[in-house]
Structure formats: structure tokens, C-alpha cells
Structure 1
Amino acid sequence: MLRICSAFVFVLVPMQVEAAEVLSGPVRVVDADTWDVGGIRVRLHGIDAPELDQTCQSDDGANWSCGVWVTDQVRELYQGEKARCRVLDRDRYGRAVARCLVDGADAGQILVARGLAFAYRKYATVYVPQEHMAVASRAGLHAGKVQAPWLFRSISKAAQPSSGCKIKGNISAKGEKIYHLPGQKFYARTRINESKGERWFCSAAAARKAGWRSARS
């Protein structure tokens, strides 16, 4: 259904590291654009990738879990590899915003060129040429219909309960009431439909009291 194109010529811009904070170490992929590098949480500069719970549409109109797929693709490329990252900023979550090289190649550039991430024009335009090539060749995500991640987050945030409660009380296809805590395996994929009796909880104790059990993973 999707294809990854790798026939691109990458023009790497030398990184001036003398006066900048530099991180290095093995990569643990949290999601496509957020890594742990040597134990430090890093947000890759200048790119934006689908969220883990984001879905896309294929050419035939079928929905598929593109956020999970993209993260799996990035893990195949970089999990356990050694990265060297130049820190450019810190974001509001305390993450190091950085450009990272793996085997001398700019990871952000490669991810955008392969259609695994978007150029995040709000913060940088350095990867726009790679995105244009990926769109033209229908590489990765561009083989179907995909919503820009920043738009997806904006819509998702508007749909969250005003109470700020984060625990998801889901009802399974078998009618079982299960609550999911942030960080659990299926939390990101679980959607709440209040018209079906599903609901948000502010604490695990409140969920249990209402008759929900904890997700097993």
C-alpha cells in the first residue's frame, strides 16, 4: 500500500557545534519525532510526525493507524543507533530541541524525504525541499490522505473534556468496562464516545468505583 523512497541526494549542512550543547548516545524512539538520546529526551527540530493515535486514509478510503506505522518505521531505522545531536532550544515540556546526525546523516532530513514526517514550517523551513520531493513521489504518508499533525493535535485538544481529566473509560466490543491510564499500551489508540456510555475519569479510584477495571497493559 505504501512505499518508502530512498533515492534522494541529501545535502547536509555542517553543524557548528563549538558553542552549542551537544548530546550523543544510543537512540530510543519514543515516537517518530521524539527520541531519547543517551537518556535525554529530544524533540527533533524542524519536523513534525503523526501522533501515535492518529489515523490516515489510503487511496481506497480505508482508515489505518499511520501514527503507529510511522513510529515503527522510525524504530526500524534508528532504534539503538548512536546519534549526535546539536541542541538548538528547549520546548515547554523541557525537551531538548535538536538536529541529530546518525552515521553522519541528518535524521530529520531523511525522515521528511522518506515521507515519515512533515517539514514543520512554523519553526524551520530547512526540510521543505525534501517534503516537496516526497509529495511528488508519493513516498510514505504521501501515498494516501494524511492530516498535518499540528492540525490533528488542535482538533484533538478541542475534543478533550473541559474538566482536564485524562483517564479514558472505554467500553469494549464485548461490553466490558475498561479504563486506560496515560502511558499505557492502548491509551493513545482509545477514543471516548460519550453517547455510548464511555467517559473520562479524574482518578483510577473513581473509575473503579464506577465499575471500570484497569487495562492489563
Structure 2
Amino acid sequence: MSLSLTQKRTFKMENKQKHRCSWANTDDKLMQQYHDEQWGKPIYDDQEMFELLSLELMHSGLSWKTVLHKQTNFEKAFHNFDYHQVAQMEPEIADLLNNAGIIRNNRKINAIITNAKVIEKLHEQGSSFSELMWNFVAHKPIINSINNHNDIPSTTPLATTISKKLKSIGFSFTGPVVVYSFMQSCGMVNDHENNCFAK
């Protein structure tokens, strides 16, 4: 007896839901939650996108697990990533560098403050960070065919183009690798493995 189309779809979904991307096959609940609920999901809110960009630049040279487990501390230290408040945080840099709950890197901290100022400027010009970024993909996520997470490049020509644009308008610490990781995290790119339930 053959399965109906509906039964085949149900069977396929039930089996897909048993699989996460290989990098999320871990006992770490925060990593699982991030993979299941956020990574690759489109985000359009400027404040949320600013937070992800900030976390991704902090991620540079470090493991994502390290950054993710400090996210709550980052949110407290950076006023929940309200870019209006962060843009005024230069007097707080010394305190941030003494905050053991975050990654105390002077260059990265300064970059977050600088980027907040640029996002404010975009708004003053009648635009937004979200509009700027999503225009690069025509407001539609790029869905890649990924069989193994190890096959995902660290960056792409598009990420390099975006990086150059961001730097030209004043963004800091936004090299092609950081930009591509950010594109993945905010859903501009979906790099979930093909057999992952979150694809």
C-alpha cells in the first residue's frame, strides 16, 4: 500500500525533525536553542540586528559558545543593545573593560559604540540598518544547499561587497568573515544543513 502525498510529507517532516545541523549536535542547551530558534531566521528589527552584529564581532577569534554564554551579560552591559544609548557609552568604556562578565577587548568595545553611532546616523538620513542590509539580498533570504556544515565558506563575495560598503559609511570591525556570520545569524542567509529540521 503506497503512502498518500500528505502521509509522505508527514513522514518526511517527522524524520527531518530528528536532525539538527552537525554543529548543533551538542548537550549545550543554549547552543541548541540558538540553532533551533534563531540562527537562519530572518530578523528585520534594527535593535535586534545591532545586537547580533555586536555579538558576531565579539565572536571574532573566539568560539560562538563563549559569546553565547555571555549574551545576558552583554545585554546588561550594553543597555539591551539600544543603539541610541550605546552611541553615548564612551564614558563607560573603562567600566566595560573591568567587567569580567563580558569579553574585555578595547577594540571590539569601541567598534560596538562606533556602529551604534552609524546606525543612528542612518536613521537621521531616513534609512535604517535593516533596510541597508536587506537591500543587498532584495529582501529575500539566500537559501543555500548545504549537505555538511564543514562545507560552508567563512565568507562570500557578497559578504565582501557588504563589508566594503559598511566600512565606507563608518562601521567598524565588519570584515567579510564577521559580515557573513552576521548574515547567517540574522537570516539573510540560511545555511542550515539540508537534512536539518530548521532548514
TM-score, normalization by structure 2: 0.28
**Of Structure 1 and Structure 2, which has the larger fraction of its residues in helix?**
2
**Of Structure 1 and Structure 2, which has the larger fraction of its residues in strand?**
1
